[in-house]
Structure 1
Amino acid sequence: MTGGASALSVRVLGDLTVDGSDLTRLDRKSRSLLQLLALARGRPVSPDALVDALWGDDPPARPGDQLAVLASRLRRELGRDRIERTDGGYRLHTDWLDLAELEAVVVEAERRHAAGEIA
């Protein structure tokens, strides 16, 4: 899927999946970048944090360039508008994320429990 015209639904709980995309076309580092960005739930992730997470103590000679290459691969698969480079780093724009939905369910359950609506 390309172009970003369709809704982007991402699952990170369990296996990483994106509705309408075959992530096996992506290399392991690109999939890892996607997962890191999805776990940030729409917040930018700094290049330094991404380099540390992706390469640890053995980063490539030009890590910024390598991040740009990985982001480009994700843009080709998910749509150009889905991976944004900001002053704060890289950010993934999703329409639905299982982790965000889970958090909303937990918050609502906690609210209802505190209000005495559920035991």
Structure 2
Amino acid sequence: MKSQPNGVHFLFVPTVLDLFYRFMPPTIAAAEVHNINTDQSSLLAFKDHITYDANNFLAKNWSVKTPTCDWFGVTCASSHLRVTSLNLSYMGLVGTIPPHLGNLSFLMELDLSNNSFHGFSSW
């Protein structure tokens, strides 16, 4: 009688592991790609609302040709490669802040001090 519970347990474990390996890794990988693309799109929308960039930092560096986590003023978490900090203080930027920045769901620090952001943004 002891062999029957072990047999049932043995059949259940491979089924759970099989489901995990078949369905979880692609989902996780797809979510990571989608998330950094979301962060990149949000930051590019922010860049589009900048009407004056005194030193052309954003114009020169914020491009789809450069990985988002390497952009000037952007810091990403090494564990999940999501934008966690945006520090563009003292850049002499002029423009509006679009609602797209709200899509940076892992953002913990935002420093836009000593710039000139004004008014409302339409998207």
TM-score, length of structure 1 as denominator length: 0.25
Q: Which has the higher contact order (CA 8 A, sep 6+)?
A: 1
TM-score, length of structure 2 as denominator length: 0.25
